[in-house]
Amino acid sequence: MSNRQILQAMSGLMAGMFVAILAGTVVANALPTIIADLGASQSSYTWVVTSELLAMTATVPLWGKLSDLFDKKLLLQLSLGMFVIGSLLAGFSNGVELLIFSRVLQGIGAGGLTALAQVVMAAIIPPRRLGKYAGIFGAVFAVGTVAGPLIGGVLVDTSWLGWRWCFFIGVPFALLAIALLQRTLALPVVRRKAKIDFLGAFLIVAGVCALLIWVTLAGNEFDWVSWQTAALTGAGLLLLAAAVFVEARTEEPVIPLGIFRNRTVTLTTVASLLVGVAMFGGTVFLSQYFQVSLGKSPTVAGLMSLPMIIGLLVSSTVAGQLISKTGVWKRYLVAGAVIMTVGLGLLSTIGADTSFTLLSIYMATLGVGVGMLMQNLVLAAQNDVPASELGAATSVLSFFRSMGGTIGTSVLGAILANRVATEMTKGLDAAGIPAGPGGGEAGVPDMSTLPEPVRAIVEHAYGVATADLFLIATPCALLALITVVFLKEKPLKTTSGMERLAEESGSAAATDKAAVGG
């Protein structure tokens, strides 16, 4: 395909990816209004967020496997269609139960888009040229991440629109993506007789959901050491053990365990998990730090994350161009992991009195590191697997990165709450101010209603606690660096996934013919 044809095909993929990212971020500033309007509880607040994330993470491997067996273009359009249905149901919801169900549909659709967009890119673009387009992919990711909360805040604050438009706004983008894919994406349909491993798929989804529900709710709904923890972790591990048993014995496993014999796939998978923990676990609480510790409005808090997003966008694009030009990729992964570790280390020094100039430098450093590392881990894995396993390998990396993000967000969130409570109690005691019935655990305070001495104590507590999160995330980034160092650099292939698949099919047919002739 020419560059023009690739860019045309990419237009539909990018519109679809923008929709998937927007779905996860647009409700961030709107959720308090949504929950209040529907008369729902705090636990419902958690489930509106969690249900979409659970469905997306758990279904990514299944979508990846389906892409190895069926028409990728049709699967992409199907996932976009599910997203549209979920978005419309969410927008018209009159109760929190329907809203949560619709978020599950959105999550399944987003899981398909997350896995399939990268699989289709690998199918139509040779690895040697893929870096350049992976950079564009990273740029769309950055724009969707920063635009989501800002769009959500504006929609909620606009009286003639309201929170329902947080869900409706993705529909035209999804319909545009379906139309663009139909018009621009030409993929040969490879017919393969295959049985889908429904038992393995069910066991994987159920096991992952049990563990994700545990890490999401532990520390909030129940204690980390409790019977609920024992039940959920026990059930999750048993289901995943059963999944491994089934996957090892079936003809067409959802996750072919054999791909983990490939050193590149194993190392990039571990690195993706660690990047998920460090990146998402650390940065998800920055907006709260801006609002509570620095006293900024939600809209300003959204704008303050721009240095990190710009750093990610620039480094992702530039590194992608250089990889495509030179064919060398490992140095960018190592440099990205080093810079990400330094960025997290710098952010572990922040406090309530840190200037925005310093914060901008620290966030930009983190963004540059993540931009060089995150997408190119996928490129390294895709370059080193047979074309018939592109879908499985790509979805495994996306799955573990999402899993790492969920675990990091949950565990670090519990640490944040505990550290804030400790610091606030200490500060109130030192100032001789009664802590009140809830002590330091009264939830996120409304800063505008607090008297000045208490306000200063709260700002300090959130500054110290947020810095601690980055300090904890730094060793994860260091482990990712060590993992990346052990990757073996292999020349980037110059044929696309479709061409490689045709070669592999031809070789297999020739071997079968020779065997019959012999």
Q: Where are the domains of the chain?
A: 1-187, 195-251, 262-506
CB 312 within 8 A of CB 367: yes
Q: How many CB atoms lie within 10 A of CB 422?
A: 16
First to last CA, the chain: 39
CB 74 within 8 A of CB 52: no
Identity (one letter) of the amino acid at 110? Answer: A
The CATH number of 1-187 is which of 1.10.10.10, 1.20.1250.20, 3.40.50.1980, 3.40.50.1370? 1.20.1250.20
DSSP state, 279? H
Enter the pTM of the model: 0.78
Chain-centroid distance of CA 153 in Å reads 21
Q: In terms of Cα–Cα distance, which of 87, 70, 314, 58 is closest to 192?
A: 70
CB 412 within 8 A of CB 472: yes
What is the residue whose two structure tokens read 């619709």?
A: 102
The pLDDT value given to residue 517: 55
Q: Is 329 exposed, middle or buried (0-12, 13-18, 19+ CB in 10 A)?
A: buried
- DSSP E strand boundaries for 244-391: none
CB 157 within 8 A of CB 177: no
Would the CATH topology of 1-187 be identical to that of 262-506? yes
Assigned token pair, 395: 């979805």
C-alpha angle 135-141-145 in degrees, rounded to nearest 5: 150
Q: In terms of Cα–Cα distance, which of 337, 336, 340, 319 is closest to 328?
A: 319
Blockwise average pLDDT, block size 10, the chain, 518 residues? 73 80 74 75 67 79 77 86 91 87 88 81 76 73 73 76 85 86 73 68 82 76 83 91 85 78 89 83 73 76 81 85 85 93 92 88 91 84 80 79 78 78 81 58 57 79 86 90 90 74 62 50
Please name the residue ranges forming H helices in 305-355.
Answer: 306-326, 330-347
User: How far is it, in rounded angstroms, from Cα 494 to Cα 39?
Assistant: 57
Q: What are phi and psi of 222, to 5 degrees?
A: -155, 165
What is the residue whose two structure tokens read 């504006």?
A: 154
Residue 295 backbone zone (phi > 0: left; psi -120 to 50: alpha; other: beta): left
Exposure b/e, 375-385, CB count within 10 A at least 16 = b: bbbbbbbbbbb
218 beta partners: 222
CB 26 within 8 A of CB 199: no
CB 116 within 8 A of CB 76: yes
The pLDDT value given to residue 378: 83
Assigned token pair, 346: 């710098």
Q: Mention the CATH class of domain 262-506.
A: mainly alpha
CB 332 within 8 A of CB 377: no
Q: What are phi and psi of 218, to 5 degrees?
A: -65, 135
Torsion over CA: 161, 165, 171, 176 (sign) = positive
User: How far is it, in rounded angstroms, from Cα 316 to Cα 6?
Assistant: 19
Q: Is 516 exposed, middle or buried (0-12, 13-18, 19+ CB in 10 A)?
A: exposed
User: How far is it, in rounded angstroms, from Cα 199 to Cα 511?
Assistant: 32
DSSP state, 222? B
Assigned token pair, 35: 């929950």
Q: What are phi and psi of 2, to 5 degrees?
A: -75, 165
| DSSP codes joined into one string, 27-63 | TTTTHHHHHHHHT--HHHHHHHHHHHHHHHHHHHHHH
Q: Which positions ≥6 away from 440 have C-beta within 8 Å?
A: 420, 421, 422, 423, 424, 425, 428, 461
Identity (one letter) of the amino acid at 418? Answer: N
133 beta partners: none
CB 106 within 8 A of CB 87: yes
User: How far is it, in rounded angstroms, from Cα 288 to Cα 66?
Assistant: 39
Q: What are phi and psi of 255, to 5 degrees?
A: -115, 105
